[in-house]
Chains A and B, each alone.
Chain A
């Protein structure tokens, strides 16, 4: 009897030790405080909706003529970054919006941190909120992005993976290191007191390890964004998220 009981206990302990291997992915939302989560959950209290409202006005003015109502873009943001065969390059959603402006509207490009670009990408991102991220794992970009994610870089000689895979949940300075899933961009970040793109977030991490910052429209930026999107495949779009 006693043997069976201890055997059963051993089996239980063993299976408990094995099952955490399939650890679920956590978005930045899961690692945020209750207050930050509540701010994201309530559209009326989420400051990012100021940008969404501005995006609606811009949409009606500039985009509606070709695209119709913004609601027709459900699912679009969840597929980015994607390969554009005509331009023969990988495009982030922001790059697509800029391409629409320059190539189809003949308007000057937005700077990467232009509030209007944030407003439009927040509006388009919101149309996919709740849908699973679903970027095409297209080569060679995916492998390029993964190589960047794993390369030790900068004066501090750290890789994205060393923080976001191996040390997620630990504290870097005062911040909890998230798993680094790009589920909610553009996002309102409390520390910025404003809205920022995924590129802005990556710049912060690159600066943090004292590495070279690649340009917003560089192949590196798009490849890394694709790797992050594929790594988070199936996780829900949260745009516009609120982050610490």
Chain B
């Protein structure tokens, strides 16, 4: 037990995401903002955006590591991407006081979103 905990913390990621929680996070636009830009098999289709590609079937196209990287380092794939880098606060300007110093999603929430996106397999 004494040795198990540090071992668990070393494994990346340290916690497994929960797909049901991930769905709620993606559908909560005031939290994640995903649906401002993306559409997909989610609540309220008329309130979904088309700034990014639709997320239908994304779990069949990208594995969990690739999905995580698209969320946390979107600029790696397109330096001019409008998509925010989830999990980061560095390099942000004029953030409103209610959000200052906090990333949009915590690392645990990002894992939940990755777990949920992985379940989207129907194109």
Q: Residues of A with Cβ closer than 8 Å to B?
A: 151-158, 162-163, 166-167, 170-174, 206-207, 210-213
Which secondary structure dominates chain A's binding surface? loop
**Would you call the interface of chain B mostly helix, strand, loop, or mixed?**
loop
Given A156-B104, A167-B82, A211 and B95 touching (CB < 8 A)? yes
B33 CB-CB contact with A under 8 Å:
yes
User: Are A210 and B95 in contact (CB-based, < 8 A)?
Assistant: yes
Per the bound structure, the CA–CA distance linking A173 and B102 in Å amounts to: 23
Please give me the residue from chain B that is nearest to A163 by CB atom.
Answer: B82
Q: Please, which residues of chain A bring their CB within 8 A of the CB of B97?
A: 212
* Chain B 40-54: CB-based contact to A (< 8 A → 1; otherwise 0): 000000111111000
Q: Provide the residues of chain B in CB contact with A151, threshold 8 Å.
A: 93-94
Decide: A158 near B82, CB < 8 A? Known: A173-B36, A173-B48.
yes
Once the chains bind, are B93 and A153 in contact (CB under 8 Å)?
yes
- Shortest beta-carbon distance from B32 to chain A in Å: 11
Asked whether any CB of chain A lies closer than 8 Å to the CB of B6, the reply is no
**In the complex where A162-B82, A173-B36, A210-B99 touch, is A153 in contact with B48 (Cβ < 8 A)?**
no
Q: Is B98 at the interface (CB under 8 A from chain A)?
A: yes
Residue of A154, A156, A163, A170 with most partner-chain B CB within 10 A: A156
Pair A153/B94 contact, Cβ less than 8 Å:
yes
Task: Report the nearest B residue to A211, measured CB to CB.
Answer: B94
* B84 within 8 A of partner (CB): yes
Provide the residues of chain B in CB contact with A157, threshold 8 Å: 84-85, 91-92
Are B96 and A207 in touch, CB under 8 angstroms? yes
A-B contact pairs, 28 of them (CB 8 A): A151-B93, A151-B94, A153-B94, A154-B92, A154-B93, A154-B96, A154-B99, A155-B84, A155-B92, A155-B96, A155-B102, A156-B33, A157-B84, A163-B82, A166-B82, A167-B51, A170-B50, A170-B51, A171-B48, A172-B36, A172-B37, A173-B36, A173-B49, A174-B48, A210-B96, A210-B98, A211-B94, A212-B96
Measured CB to CB, the residues of B under 8 A from A are 29, 33, 35-37, 46-51, 82, 84-85, 91-99, 102, 104
Provided the pairs A172-B36, A172-B37 are in contact, do residues A154 and B94 lie with their beta carbons within 8 angstroms?
yes
Contact of A211 among B33, B91, B96 (CB under 8 A): B96
**Smallest CB–CB gap between A31 and chain B, Å?**
15
How far, in Å, is B69 (CB) from chain A's closest CB?
17
A213 & B29 in contact (Cβ 8 Å cutoff): no
Complex: how many Å from CA A58 to CA B121? Answer: 62
Q: How far is the CA of A207 from the CA of B99 in the complex (A)?
A: 11
Q: Which residue of the partner chain A has the closest CB to B33?
A: A156
B85 touches A212 (CB 8 A): no
Bound together, the chains give a CA A41 to CA B48 distance in angstroms of: 30
A206 to B33, CA, bound (A): 14
Question: Which B-chain residue is minimally distant from A162 (CB atoms)?
Answer: B82
List residues of chain A with CB within 8 A of the CB of B94: 151, 153-154, 211-212
Q: Within the assembled complex, what's the spacing in Å between the Cα atoms of A154 and B49?
A: 19
* Complex Cα spacing A206 to B36, Å: 15
Residues of A within 8 A of B47 (CB): 173-174
Q: Which residues of B contact A162 (CB under 8 A)?
A: 82
